[in-house]
Amino acid sequence: MNNTFDLFIVGAGPAGLMAAVSAAAAGKRVGVAEFLPSAGRKLLASGSGKCNLTNLLEPEEMAARFTAGARRILPALRAFPPEELRLWFRRRGVPTSPVDGFHCFPDSQRAGDVLDALLREAAQYNVQIFCNTAVEELLISDGKISGCRAGKREFHAEKLLLAGGGNGYPALGARGLGYRLAASAGHTILTPVPALVGLRTKEEWPTRLAGITVERARAGFGRGRFREGVLLFTKTGVSGPAVLDLAGEINRRLLTGPEAVLTLRFEAKYAAEFWRAELERRRQSDGRKPVEAVLAEFFRRRLAETLAGLAGCTARRLAELTAAERNRLAGLLDAMPLVVTGNDGWEKAMATCGGVALDEVNPRTMESRLLPGLRFAGEMLDVGAPCGGYNLQWAFSSGRLAALA
């Protein structure tokens, strides 16, 4: 068998497959190595099997939401923006729609249709996919990439793309092999930590509210880092979009210390000033009501009772609170501190924070600045994508750019 290719790709996930079909359609001979028995297993699980493959943001606004910074993300997103990604799949029999006016899913709500479209394209252009093939070593000749080795088999190519994905969902293939290969080429690897994952708290009260959601919460971490969205209380702490987008940064902080502080606002649009004024107004009009009854007009009853208890106001009438007590309650409703001590682990992580340092990669070609011919795509890179179609859009865009640049 001829093991010489124009482009060889490590990883048959969304980034690797899009790179493969893009290069092959341009007339290149392409091979792909996949560790698992079949391609795209993690893609099949994305979006709970429904595959939120992008959203309606323009490239500039989308790039601004990555923690890596827009200038490093924009070249790929501009080269293959959300609108073109949706058109690409529609032309291959997979129409998509923004089901909630923002997040785009296949009309069939089946991630399998997205994978099937990629695999049909790969077959049409004779992409060779080698499953059950774990690449163990990069081959380097005369200071540039020349291929890779998997067991006793060598694959030769002047261009090699590492698209092995992150460490999330290890049962679906995550092994960190791509990071080790990148490190062997001299690249800096920012320690991968779970991202888009539930957080475990030192406090027990969130676990007693497991299953309760807050529709319009705001979570904060560090200076000026806030996310708004649904907050979900879990058996281990907190989750939901408001928390998930900050999880990677919080878990990175936990690498250097045992704890990190997250703050929660239980109604995103209501800051402390609103609550102080509202509590004063209600003290005058409904002062005989218990504090938890007033809060229950804004929140679920169990949450209202918990908040009253945390403020030391349980079973007390609103009129009985001193000004200092009302201020304390308003402050907690605005920014309730939670001490985060851990996360729900790689088995639950939807993404990875960390990976190949971006300053070592040319964002206009996705090529290594250290080893000519070596390229990267998807979660191999430390991009910090939020929840909501960003990771898959980045995978498709960066894979296509790496193949065609």
337 & 364 share domain: no
Asked if residue 350 is part of any domain, the answer here is no
259 & 301 share domain: yes
224 & 245 share domain: yes
100 & 229 share domain: no
pLDDT digits (tens, 9 = 90+) for 101-118: 999 999 999 999 999 999
CB atoms within 10 A of CB 388: 23
Secondary structure, 3-state, the chain: CCCEEEEEEECCCHHHHHHHHHHHHCCCCEEEECCCCCCCHHHHHHHHHCCCCEECCCHHHHHCCCCCCHHHHHHHHHHCCHHHHHHHHHCCCCCEEECCCCEEEECCCCHHHHHHHHHHHHHHCCCEEECCCCCCEEEEECCEEEEEEECCEEEEEEEEEECCCCCCCHHHCCCCHHHHHHHHCCCCEEEEEEECCCEEECCCHHHHCCCCEEEEEEEECCCCCEEEEEEEECCCEEECHHHHHHHHHHHHHCCCCCCEEEEEECCCCCCHHHHHHHHHHHHHHHCCCEHHHHHCCCCCHHHHHHHHHHCCCCCCEHHHCCHHHHHHHHHHHHCEEEEEEEECCCCCCCEEEEEECHHHEECCCCEECCCCCEEECHHHECCCCCCCCHHHHHHHHHHHHHHHC
Arithmetic mean of pLDDT, 318-342: 97
pLDDT digits (tens, 9 = 90+) for 232-290: 999 999 999 999 999 999 999 999 999 999 999 999 999 999 999 999 999 999 999 99
CB atoms within 10 A of CB 273: 10
pLDDT digits (tens, 9 = 90+) for 165-203: 999 887 776 678 899 999 999 999 999 999 999 999 999
The pLDDT value recorded for residue 173 is 64
The pLDDT value recorded for residue 168 is 86
pLDDT digits (tens, 9 = 90+) for 140-170: 999 999 999 999 999 999 999 999 999 988 7
112 & 15 share domain: yes
Q: Give which of 3, 5, 6, 22 is closest to 377, Cα–Cα.
A: 22
187 & 204 share domain: no
Q: What angle (nearest 5°) sits at the alpha carbon of residue 341, between those of residues 271 and 201?
A: 50
Last residue of a domain, one of 344, 364, 382: 344
Asked if residue 270 is part of any domain, the answer here is yes
Token pair listed for 399: 């894979």
- Per-residue confidence band for 318, with pLDDT thresholds at 50, 70 and 90: very high
| Gap between the Cα atoms of 311 and 318, Å rounded | 12
pLDDT digits (tens, 9 = 90+) for 19-59: 999 999 999 999 999 999 999 999 999 988 999 999 999 99
Asked if residue 94 is part of any domain, the answer here is yes
279 & 164 share domain: no
Considering the entire predicted model, what is its pTM?
0.94
Instruction: For residue 243, give the CATH number of its domain.
Output: 1.10.8.260
pLDDT at 225 over 90: no
The rounded mean pLDDT for the chain is 96
235 & 203 share domain: yes
- Per-residue confidence band for 224, with pLDDT thresholds at 50, 70 and 90: confident
251 & 299 share domain: yes
Asked if residue 89 is part of any domain, the answer here is yes
At which residue do the structure tokens 């979900």 appear?
232
pLDDT at 2 over 90: no
307, 295 Cβ separation under 8 angstroms: yes
Arithmetic mean of pLDDT, 1-17: 94
Asked if residue 349 is part of any domain, the answer here is no
| Gap between the Cα atoms of 221 and 273, Å rounded | 21
Handedness of CA 234, 240, 243, 246 (dihedral sign): positive
The number of folded domains in the chain is: 2
162 & 287 share domain: no
The pLDDT value recorded for residue 174 is 62
CB atoms within 10 A of CB 329: 25
Asked if residue 14 is part of any domain, the answer here is yes
Asked if residue 168 is part of any domain, the answer here is yes
Asked if residue 329 is part of any domain, the answer here is yes
Domain hosting 86: range is 4-193+355-404
Instruction: For residue 93, give the CATH number of its domain.
Output: 3.50.50.60
59 & 172 share domain: yes
| Gap between the Cα atoms of 35 and 178, Å rounded | 11
- Per-residue confidence band for 1, with pLDDT thresholds at 50, 70 and 90: low
pLDDT digits (tens, 9 = 90+) for 371-395: 999 999 999 999 999 999 999 999 9
| Gap between the Cα atoms of 290 and 309, Å rounded | 12
244 & 173 share domain: no
